[in-house]
């Protein structure tokens, strides 16, 4: 059975999507897979090249040089690609084409979203729609802040409504919020999507120490 490519989405910003995506890439490389990475949309500061820090982290994990092809749309304004101001993001159809080109000579792809799964790219087109159109399951990354249950359940409903399968949940225990056991118990009570890992804040940056690679990758 082949290893399925995956879209790493989040319940919001700053929940650790890049950390999880980079860890997945390293796991796959340790399995001797030829891994491709992509950060389709990004925002915020960069080093003058137009490539985001997150895309550079993914490229480093994959052992390949960062290129504009793997991070096609970066904007300085920390806002969704669609802002309503008339500024045009790269159209999702073109983004999917670029994804397919990157994937053509790779065994597996790890694609990281931007913000939460309902971040708009067009007025009625969201990150979850991009995952669906790339034919990717979505790994949902959540933190342990108060409010995480609402954010996670809302994200899972967005996956279902927009047509991308939720492959599972990864918890990043990075806040002074819910404890691991309580958070997992609450999530098990309100959703049937499995919690595949709960990552400690003491883990190495870009590594998913102690995680079951098979469970996380769906193999």
**Residue numbers annotated as active site:** 39
* Closest of 29, 84, 81, 37 to residue 57, by C-alpha: 37
Strand extents, DSSP E, 68-214: 73-75, 108-116, 120-122, 125-126, 137-143, 166-173, 195-200
Evaluate whether 24 touches 216 at the Cβ level (below 8 Å): yes
Q: Residues 206, 208, 35, 17: what is their CA dihedral angle, to the nearest 10 degrees?
A: -60
Instruction: Name the token pair of 52.
Output: 């985001």
Q: Are strands 120-122 and 125-126 parallel, antiparallel or unpaired?
A: antiparallel
């Amino acid at each position: 059975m082949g290893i399925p490519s995956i879209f790493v989405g989040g319940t919001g910003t700053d929940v650790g999507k890049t950390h999880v995506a980079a860890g997945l890439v390293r796991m796959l490389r340790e399995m001797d897979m030829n891994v491709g990475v992509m950060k389709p949309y990004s925002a915020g500061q960069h080093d003058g090249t137009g490539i985001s820090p997150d895309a550079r982290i993914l490229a480093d994990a994959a052992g390949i040089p960062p290129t504009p092809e793997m991070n096609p749309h970066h904007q300085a304004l920390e806002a969704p690609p669609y802002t309503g101001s008339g500024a045009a993001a790269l159209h999702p159809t073109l983004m999917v084409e670029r994804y397919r080109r990157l994937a053509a000579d790779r065994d597996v792809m790890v694609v990281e979203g931007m913000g939460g799964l309902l971040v708009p790219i067009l007025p009625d087109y969201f990150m979850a729609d991009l995952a669906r159109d790339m034919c990717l399951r979505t790994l949902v990354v959540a933190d342990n802040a108060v409010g995480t249950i609402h954010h996670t359940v809302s994200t899972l409903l967005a996956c279902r409504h927009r047509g991308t399968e939720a492959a599972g949940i990864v918890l990043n225990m990075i806040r002074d919020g819910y404890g691991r056991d309580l958070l997992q118990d609450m999530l098990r009570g309100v959703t049937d999507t499995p919690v595949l890992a709960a990552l400690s804040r003491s883990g190495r940056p870009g590594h998913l120490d102690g995680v079951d690679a098979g469970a996380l990758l769906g193999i």
